Structure 1
């Protein structure tokens, strides 16, 4: 894992950079199966994978060790609480209501204590009339206590529900703002499994936090009220002993809880990684199965995916064992102090007998004093339980607060390459002086690149000083070997990736449409696929328009298939299975139908016809031309040259060459290429505009 500097005002920070993301993105342009290669795990690949897993595990342990039970944890919790109470009226009312319930429950419990003393007295005296009256009164007070307890739990559940709604929507709004989710995955490795943090972590945190809030409200009331009663009935020594007993318990829990926080944080991450690994296997099940068929049946080898799953699970189990051991220590101390409480209670009551101030204690007084001491101890036990819950709560605090912090930082940051002093590697000092400028001019209908240079987060140059002008009605084909920067250039033009030198002027985002090699199909109907990124709430397409659109590429049978699905009432297939039901070629044609419906000025296509036959490819590009859509394509097929006017060729030596394509010949194999511009990496020649 490398690091990259971040320019944020006058401050310079260092954050981890996801370098593998760039490599995977670039390689995906050359191989659609590169994301899900299954098959046998060779000894070398297993060794490499094991080594990578070891490094990743060591990194994870380092990050987890930074999350401990300390002041920083408390500050992060305060920050989250401020978000939960950004609109304080309703949550504040609910907390006050919870406080009122806690006061009422404490008072109802005190009535139960008085009832016990009276019952013992009436039983000893044989007063049946008073006994029945006390039992009826006890029925009322215990029923009231049960109702109050249920109402408290209901209120706690509603508070947790509102907190989850507030916190989840807050993070989601930031996560989806200006494609922040992509920037986090592309340029930052501090957030593992963001899906887990937004879904299960927030749910667990708000539920646990609401329970802790209830205990924190009820605990002080119980402790304060019964401290007064024990002091009034027995003197200062009774509450003092109980206080000292539970302070000792808190210190013991604190000693064990600090390392448990780090272990729990790491366990949450490992659980998310293990779940994601199996999710990935489910997503690419067909590719993995097909690749596994190429294995030599005479060689006994384990599947790569199985080997990875075993290694990940072994690491998870190892850390889970540590968590269980530390949890055992925490549970032991918590339960020990809870079970010793009655013994301490009777010891306190017996102190007057030991020191000789009293020879006997009335049975009714023993009952009242014992009940008051037990209730005071139970109040402190709630605090002990809170400390046990905080070990779990702290893990969620760390993960959620880190998510918020990274979202805020990435949203405001500009990236610069790592400082290195080798050939073709940029110096960070140099980059700080010049950061690429991306300018959006809604009125313009052209894309201008002026001396644009791009460097990977490792600081390595992909291309330098590219200058070109793509006007409306023109077309550009970008070719080159894998890893030469073709896909990077497309993403830079689209504004998805930052660049570090030069200037780009482009039209408004709605005038540009991006098509990837692997189309994105949402959960929804075919109409919703075409409308995307809009929803049917904002736009609709008539059935006739849908039929005309799909027949354009001979896909009318998909509409018939959807009609049959609706007729069967199988809505699950309608909303979830299009990705699995369509071939790669059909998926790419769906993305082109989406393009033709939205009619942008420019279409940026990254291997978008790789799964389409050349005969259909010709129809696709002709349809774009007929609708006046200018195409900027990344591809490997030589047949693509006949659909474009200019060819930009990149190589791995950071050179580029721009040529006009002469399509006057009917045979596209004989298309002439006329060089118009290039760069010379040896003499650092500046390019000129087209």
Structure 2
């Protein structure tokens, strides 16, 4: 009865909160359009430096998935490879970590029964259970971090070796570093090989655990909650997450495009320093220090200003993410969890009811965090799309077999004199 009396108040509160969230999202969309216009000058400047060639904007589309599949075949040579074994082991660790989380949630509920019954026997048993679960969780978390780092390192080794083999074959280093750069198809090949390959492998390996761990949490936690409070409440909460996830993706700026652009600007800044080192004797002889300092400071200013714009976009998007996925969802999760206990479970003692409530509270919080992480995976996917574009452009410039994936055509080197080859130059 009390629930029916307060239903209008809960509905009004839900509508007000949802309306406020939509209003903030609309303002975010307007601000996003303004930022896109204000960033046009910086993007155009970087394009001019790279060669005045318009490239496809990095995005999560069919081309992105096609490129990722090609790179995955490079970093994981086969199902019997070391990398495949590490991925399977990492998945097993993820399952164990989720089971440990479920165990800890049950222990937290049993602790309330122990306190209510004043049982020292249960107290020592729960304390020992906490200790064993804590040690297991520490080992599992450390193992997951170790495996993630090892996977990223192994991916980088395979991908860099693949690039080196083709980069130093058939004058491809000249094609990538000189001809493609002159035509604007590829900028800063050294930056892509040294830095972008490493960043891609780190994000790629992290995305694996960031995706499967939350998915396992949602499945197993929902199954546990179904035995106590049923499926209607959690499913209603999950529907909200689906809705808010669509809203957040709709108002999210194209971070993949901005990330690729920022990396291009950083590559220009690095190229300026390399140019100064290469021509240090001429600069010193002609007393061009002031001019070189102006060029380097201008390149640095482009990086800083564009980076600040990206940070501001992350701030605005983070406000929406935190409120929509964390605080407003927590407010909705309370009645979803509390109503079954307020309207039922009359056969349970107060201590048992509180114990089950505590256990399901831990489960629903873990499930909500997992869904929030799954929704925020789009950020990492956008980041991966930016790195994938830069890595794939490098692969397409040095590997003729990849020309069907990219949009640029490789210059013909058959007409070059044989004296330009690396072997004869030595």
TM-score range relative to shorter protein = 0.7 to 0.9
User: Of 148, 163, 175, which aligns to 1:171?
Assistant: 163
Alignment match of 1:363 (pick from 334, 354, 357) = 354
More relative contact order, 1 or 2 (CA 8 Å, 6+ apart): 2
Give, in whole Å, the separation in 1 of the partners of 2:195 and 2:420. 29
* Equivalent position to 2:418, from 466, 490, 494: 494
- Counterpart position of 1:259: 254
CA distance in 1, matches of 2:356, 2:266: 54
Match of 2:395 in 1: 404
Matched with 1:219 is 214
2:341–2:357 contact (8 Å) kept in structure 1: no
State the Cα deviation string for residues 24-44 of structure 1 (Å, max 9, x = none).
Answer: xxxxxxxxxxxxxxxxxxxxx
In structure 1, what is the Cα distance between the partners aligned to 2:196 and 2:77? 20
Change (3 A) 1:286 1:197: same
Task: Work out which of the residue numbers 233, 238, 250 in structure 2 matches 1:243.
Answer: 238
**Would you say the 8 A contact 1:160–1:206 is kept in 2?**
yes
The structure with the largest helix share of the pair is: 2
Count of aligned residue pairs for this structure pair: 370
CA shift for structure 1 position 256:
4.3
1:192/1:269 contact within 8 Å kept: yes
Give the match for residue 374 of structure 1. 365
Q: Residues 190, 379 of structure 1: CA spacing in aligned structure 2 closer, same or farther, 3 A cutoff?
A: same
Provide the secondary structure at the position in 2 that maps to 1:87.
coil
Paired position in structure 2 for 1:348: 336
What is aligned with 1:319?
A: 306
Alignment correspondent of 2:112: 120
**CA displacement at 1:292 relative to structure 2:** 1.6
- In structure 2, the CA distance between the partners of 1:127 and 1:366, relative to structure 1 (3 Å rule), is same
SS at match of 2:168: helix
Q: What's the TM-score, normalizing by structure 1?
A: 0.50
1:290 matched to 2:295: no
CA distance in 2, matches of 1:386, 1:170: 28
1:308 to 295, 305, 317: 295
- 1:281 — aligned with what? 276
Return 5+ residue gaps in structure 1 as ranges: 1-49, 294-301, 417-435, 439-491, 498-508, 515-532, 534-690
Shift in Å, 1:59: 6.5
Q: Pick from 46, 55, 58: which aligns with 1:67?
A: 58
312 and 286 in structure 1: CA distance in 2 versus 1, 3 angstrom threshold: same
Determine which structure has more spread, i.e. the larger CA radius of gyration.
1
Shift in alpha-carbon separation, 1:172–1:493, aligned structure 2, 3 A? closer
Pair 332,74 (structure 1): closer, same or farther in 2 beyond 3 Å? farther
Residue 391 of structure 1 and its aligned partner are, at CA, apart by 2.8
Cα displacement (A) at 1:149: 1.0
Select the residue among 73, 79, 85 that pairs with 2:70.
79
Unaligned 5+ runs, structure 2: 1-41, 404-408
Encode CA deviations 1:188-228: one digit per residue, 9 max, x unaligned: 22111111111111111111211111122222211111111
> 1:619-653 CA distances to partner (integer Å, 9 max, x unpaired)?
xxxxxxxxxxxxxxxxxxxxxxxxxxxxxxxxxxx
Q: CA RMSD in A?
A: 3.0
Q: 1:144 aligns with which of 127, 131, 136?
A: 136
